[in-house]
Amino acid sequence: MIDLLGAIAYGELTAFERLAEDAKLAPSLEDKVAMSAMATAEFTHLEGLLTRLVELGADPYAAMESFEKGFDEFHAHTRPADWYEGLIKAYVGDGLAADFYREIAAYLDAETRDLIVAALADAGHSTFVVERVRAGIVRDPRLGGRLALWGRRLMGEALTQAQRVAAERDALTALLAGGVDRPSLDLAALSRMFARLTENHAQRMSDLGLDS
Amino acid sequence: MIDLLGAIAYGELTAFERLAEDAKLAPSLEDKVAMSAMATAEFTHLEGLLTRLVELGADPYAAMESFEKGFDEFHAHTRPADWYEGLIKAYVGDGLAADFYREIAAYLDAETRDLIVAALADAGHSTFVVERVRAGIVRDPRLGGRLALWGRRLMGEALTQAQRVAAERDALTALLAGGVDRPSLDLAALSRMFARLTENHAQRMSDLGLDS
């Protein structure tokens, strides 16, 4: 559980960093403020997770450090080339991470689960992304093809890194394998989980007006 | 007044951007989180200012745009070379900006003045900066000399840009010159104001254990 909270916390910190960085690509001050607001929302979630980690007797920074490599590699491999790629990454990446953590949270105690679900709540910024991407595609229809490929790449990179992190971290593997006091996540359950993740991803791409 | 709120709002936005950027220089995750929290606090203040600008019937982004050049030049000329320079810039730059805006706010209506004072409230992050800088100087006494020079440079750049912005913006000049319904800021008052700014700056440098 400390591991999972540490992973989400580090994920939120890097999301904050990347959104603040990608806000530089904004074509207007209004867009820059909107993406900076998304960055700020991620950081606000992080603060609750750090408090909970301390309550659980953990060193929150040590808990986060184990996940630096996976997240940093994900971001290094998915640096947006322009504002639209940044928007898609914010929307698709955030949605995918939230889905994944929510799935895992189902295996945790109620208090931690509620905190995780709250930390992942969409602060209503996604309408802004959908609007901007759809307007961009109307102006330049070729953009849709490029962004559809970008969305697939984000999904692929996220799965690659998630798999690596899970393989490296015994605790996460143990969580998936179950224990005396909670159900295991068997192969069938795992494959259903991935089916749900892929379905939600396809839905998000379609909200943006993109093929998945 | 729209001008002043626009200037503060754009100042907060660039402060958010630079603090998020300078957090990359942090030597540890804990330090990175602390500086990212400072960035987030600046952004939170910005949101109140944007709401007030809309209430006043202004386009908040147009109000901010007039000040892009001054702030962007300030930041371009004061890019921290390392983590310590980033800490000093966060502390000294933020303090100086807050002092300056508070001085000007005294000439505005009560509601706007209260909003500005709230937007400039220190969220208690400065203890962290003082602690880190003092510990750094204990470890490497030569650091003190370099950072003292850096503090002077920050002060010089801030005054240069503030003067340029004031000269370019008639409304700010008019504010300083007074009007039928409020006192003018005559040369004597102006020189007393600069004396106070310089004194507070010296106090902040001394809090950090640095000569000003």
- A163 vs B: CB within 8 A: no
- A39 vs B: CB within 8 A: yes
At residue B185, the pLDDT reads 61
At residue B191, the pLDDT reads 78
At residue A1, the pLDDT reads 78
Of B20, B43, B61, nearest to A17 by CB-CB distance is B20
**Residues A50, B33: C-beta atoms closer than 8 Å:** yes
Of B21, B43, B61, nearest to A36 by CB-CB distance is B43
**Residues B61, A28: C-beta atoms closer than 8 Å:** yes
What ipTM does this complex have?
A: 0.81
Which own/partner pairs from A161-165 qualify as long-range (CB within 8 Å, at least 24 positions apart)? Answer: A161/A70, A161/A71, A161/A73, A161/A74, A162/A70, A162/A100, A164/A70, A165/A7, A165/A67, A165/A70
- B13 vs A: CB within 8 A: yes
State yes or no: pLDDT of B169 exceeds 80. no
At residue A3, the pLDDT reads 84
Q: How far is it, in rounded angstroms, from Cα A173 to Cα A152?
A: 26
**Residues B46, A33: C-beta atoms closer than 8 Å:** yes
Q: Calculate mean pLDDT across residues B160-185.
A: 66
**Residues B17, A30: C-beta atoms closer than 8 Å:** no
Choose between B192 and B167: higher pLDDT. B192
Query: What are the b/e assignments for A15-54, b being 16+ CB within 10 Å?
Result: bbbbbbbbbebbeebebbbbbbbbbbbbbbbbbbbbebbe
**Residues A50, B30: C-beta atoms closer than 8 Å:** no
Of B13, B23, B29, nearest to A65 by CB-CB distance is B29
- Split at pLDDT 50, 70, 90, the class of A121 is confident
At residue A35, the pLDDT reads 95
Q: How far is it, in rounded angstroms, from Cα A151 to Cα A129?
A: 14
| Residue located via tokens 């000569």 | B211
Q: Which of B135, B17, B130 is nearest to B68 (CA)?
A: B17
Q: What pLDDT digit, counting tens, does each position of B96-138 carry?
A: 888 888 887 877 788 888 888 877 776 566 788 999 999 999 9
- B15 vs A: CB within 8 A: no
At residue B176, the pLDDT reads 61
Q: How far is it, in rounded angstroms, from Cα B71 to Cα B161?
A: 7
- B72 vs A: CB within 8 A: no
Q: How far is it, in rounded angstroms, from Cα A103 to Cα A95?
A: 12
Beta-carbon contacts of A123 under 8 Å, excluding residues fewer than 6 positions away, are A37, A38, A41
For residues B143 and B85, is the Cβ–Cβ distance under 8 A? no
Q: What pLDDT digit, counting tens, does each position of A19-66 carry?
A: 999 999 999 999 999 999 999 988 988 988 899 899 999 999 999 998
If you average pLDDT over every residue of chain A, what do you get?
86
For residues B212 and B152, is the Cβ–Cβ distance under 8 A? yes
Helix (H) or strand (E) holding B151: helix B142-168
At residue A22, the pLDDT reads 95
At residue B39, the pLDDT reads 93
State yes or no: pLDDT of A193 exceeds 70. yes
Q: Which residues of B touch A61 (CB under 8 A)?
A: 28-30, 33
- Measure B61 CA to nearest chain A CA, in Å: 6
Q: Which of B211, B95, B79, B75 is nearest to B147 (CA)?
A: B211
Q: Calculate mean pLDDT across residues A115-131.
A: 78
- Measure A182 CA to nearest chain B CA, in Å: 33
At residue A96, the pLDDT reads 86
Q: What does chain B come to in residues? A: 212
- Split at pLDDT 50, 70, 90, the class of B190 is confident
- Split at pLDDT 50, 70, 90, the class of B181 is low
Choose between A113 and A179: higher pLDDT. A113
Using only the alpha carbons of chain B, give its radius of gyration: 17
What percentage of chain A has pLDDT greater than the value 90? 51
Q: How far is it, in rounded angstroms, from Cα A174 to Cα A56?
A: 19
Count other Cβ atoms within 10 Å, centred on residue B161: 20
- Does the pTM surpass 0.95? The reply is no
Choose between A187 and A30: higher pLDDT. A30
Q: Calculate mean pLDDT across residues A185-208.
A: 84
- Measure B39 CA to nearest chain A CA, in Å: 8
- B28 vs A: CB within 8 A: yes
Residue B38: φ, ψ to 5°: -65, -40
Residue A26: φ, ψ to 5°: -60, 135
Q: Which of B158, B19, B28, B161 is nearest to B87 (CA)?
A: B19
Q: What pLDDT digit, counting tens, does each position of B41-53 carry?
A: 889 889 888 998 9
At residue B186, the pLDDT reads 67
Helix (H) or strand (E) holding B208: none
Q: Calculate mean pLDDT across residues B47-76.
A: 92
Q: Which of A33, A131, A26 is nearest to A80 (CA)?
A: A26
Highest mean pLDDT among A4-13, A138-147, B124-133: A138-147
- A47 vs B: CB within 8 A: yes
Q: Which residues of A touch B65 (CB under 8 A)?
A: 29
Q: Calculate mean pLDDT across residues B186-209.
A: 85
At residue B18, the pLDDT reads 95
Residue A182: φ, ψ to 5°: -150, 155
Q: How far is it, in rounded angstroms, from Cα A91 to Cα A134?
A: 13
